[in-house]
Amino acid sequence: MDYKRLAELLYPNIDKTIEDYEKIYPERNLSEGIEVCRFAPSPTGRMHMGNLYGSFIPERFAHQSNGIFIVRIEDTDSKRAIEDGINKIICDLDCYDYKIDESPIIGGAYGPYLQTERKDIYAAFAKYLVSIGRAYPCFCSEEDLKEIRENQTNRKDRIGYYGSYAKCRNLTYEEIKDKIKNGEKYTIRLKSNGDFNKKIAFKDKIKGTINLPENDIDHVLIKSDGIPPYAFAHVVDDYLMRVTIVTRDDSYISSVPYHLEIWQAFGFKIPAYAHILPLNKKDGECVRKLSKRKDPEAAVLYYNEKGIPKEAVKLYFATLLNSNFEEWYNANPGSNISNFKFTFEKMSKSGSIFDIEKLLNISKTYFSRLKADDLYNNALKYFNTYDKDFYEVLKNNKDYSINVLNIERELVKPRKDISCYQDIKYQTDYMYDELFNLDDYQNLEIKSFYNTKIVEEYFNNVYNKNDEKEVWWNKVKDYAIKYNFCPDVKEYKVCPGKYCGHVGDLCELIRASITGRTITPDIYEILKLLDKASIEKRIKLFASYLNK
């Protein structure tokens, strides 16, 4: 067979060679150790936690080495593509502050970054493989392929297009020419040199050395519409874009021998591969893959709507990515993700459980470290989108709101009752007179020591907003004695029958009367922010609730 003649028959209009494209996309001028990584999603739906995490990994490894992060779109599945899918992917990545260096939106010297715009490039590379006898046209119809599979099933053979089952592998040039002349559709298949009974050793950056059977299947390189499946496209694209580390889902591991055979057929230097285990979820006694269909917390929009900050999500990803990150982060409160050096060696080899509760706890720590004015400005943006009424309250009470958010914030152990921006309303709305009403007392369990007279007398005769905290506390303890509250909790526990309660119960009464809650941040700090008219209004509401 004259393979060069066959290549011209199949691709008469493709005049560029691999050498031409190597000149168009030369080796990047990068120092040793600088990585080029890519994220290659399909525009078939909105981003979810699985692929957001999958994009976090190459972005971090690229940029911690001062390298390049590429977003390349695999848009060949037009039937499943959603409207404006590409822009939505880029928008979601931008929302999480992923620094993208090259993409279909930004552009770059190594584009196009859409697979559908690289058709001629793939054709040139396929033409080369045909010209050296490593690829051939296959005219098998769906019916032919179905028949092959049925025969293999009946004989209990492996399923696939290989060996004697590869019907078109040894067609002559004249047979091929006649079929093309007759208008028969064809694909281009790899002519595999592999032996399934032999093993290859493959080194993965996460899993280490893996032994797999060689590939012997003549997989399709180019479909009948001229578009390649993933395997061929990713080899060509990663080669020309000069990708140094390919990070991808570990479901591709079984395909590695085939992918390596394509790289070797071209004689290209193979990039490093890192196969990432998917995010899993505990579902009863079972562990399954996190599902965007079954699990609402899998959707990126879920986090946007609740107001879980992007920084907290990325911090959580960092704990999944490297087992030693969380300890480092807790020991370095002034640092951020960019100060930590991630390694593949510290990545899980057994998969990670996606734990929304842990994410929320990390989010609480993140919120606890924010300055009150930063928290206020961020909250303003969130509520402007998701709760216009509360946004107006915050906007119209800026200084007051910052002081409210600053309660128990500037401490060695700051408050950690906010896990998302949505929580801010619940944790602070009782501080605003325009939001506070009789309904705020509805969840209170009325206790024997709840007495409006005690509260009224306290505020009329004892409380002084100008008191330092120690003075305030001593006054509360002295006042407790008058109404038979034990001023010492330990003493009360020894003889509880002697008292109506202890000083903590008196504080609960004050807190409940003013906030409608029994659990709040420091009541001393709360009272300092409320004016006299506000306190009087709340005492009246409390009395109404007790007398209803």
> What is the C-alpha to C-alpha distance for residues 265 and 262, in angstroms, rounded to an integer?
5
- What residues contact residue 293 under an 8 Å CB cut-off, 6+ apart? none
Question: Can you read off the two tokens belonging to residue 472?
Answer: 């305030």
What is the DSSP annotation of 442-482? TT----TT--HHHHHHIIIII--TTS-HHHHHHHHHHHHHH
Which residues make beta-bridge pairs with 273? 246
Instruction: Tell me the one-letter amino acid at 333.
Output: P
Q: What is the pLDDT of residues 317-327, one digit of tens each?
A: 999 999 999 99
Q: Domains of the chain by range and CATH?
A: 3-15+120-276 (3.40.50.620), 292-345+353-368 (no CATH), 370-435 (no CATH), 437-548 (1.10.10.350)
Give the mean pLDDT per block of 10 residues along the chain (548 residues).
96 97 97 96 86 95 97 84 85 92 96 96 98 98 97 96 96 97 97 96 95 98 94 97 96 96 97 93 85 86 93 95 92 89 90 90 95 97 97 98 97 94 97 96 93 96 96 97 95 92 96 96 97 96 92
Q: Using CB atoms within 10 Å of the CB of residue 503, give its burial: 0 to 12 exposed, 13 to 18 middle, 19+ buried.
A: buried
pLDDT in tens, 140-162: 999 999 999 999 999 999 999 99
pLDDT for res 333: 82
Those residues whose C-beta lies under 8 Å from the C-beta of residue 8, and which sit 6 or more positions away, are none
Q: Are 49 and 290 a contacting pair, CB within 8 Å?
A: yes
Q: Classify 486 as helix, strand or coil.
A: strand
Residue 84 C-alpha from the chain's centroid: 20
Angle of CA points 465, 469, 475, to nearest 5°: 75
421: its two tokens: 């921006």
The token pair at 474 is 């001593």
Q: What is the DSSP letter of 80?
A: T
Calpha distance 163→179 (Å, rounded): 22
Give the pLDDT score at 142. 96
pLDDT at 445: 92
Classify 272 as helix, strand or coil.
Answer: strand
State how far the Cα of 188 lies from the Cα of 139, in Å rounded to an integer.
Answer: 9
pLDDT of residue 217: 98
- Residue 110 to residue 384: CA distance in whole angstroms: 40
Counting Cα atoms < 13 Å in the Cβ hemisphere of 178 gives 5
**C-alpha torsion angle, residues 44, 47, 49, 50 (rounded to 10):** 30
CA geometry: angle 260, 152, 180, nearest 5 deg: 70
What is the distance between the alpha carbons of residues 482 and 471, in angstroms, rounded to a whole number?
17
Beta-strand relationship, 36-39 and 68-71: parallel
Does residue 112 have a cis peptide bond before it, meaning omega lies within 30 degrees of 0? yes
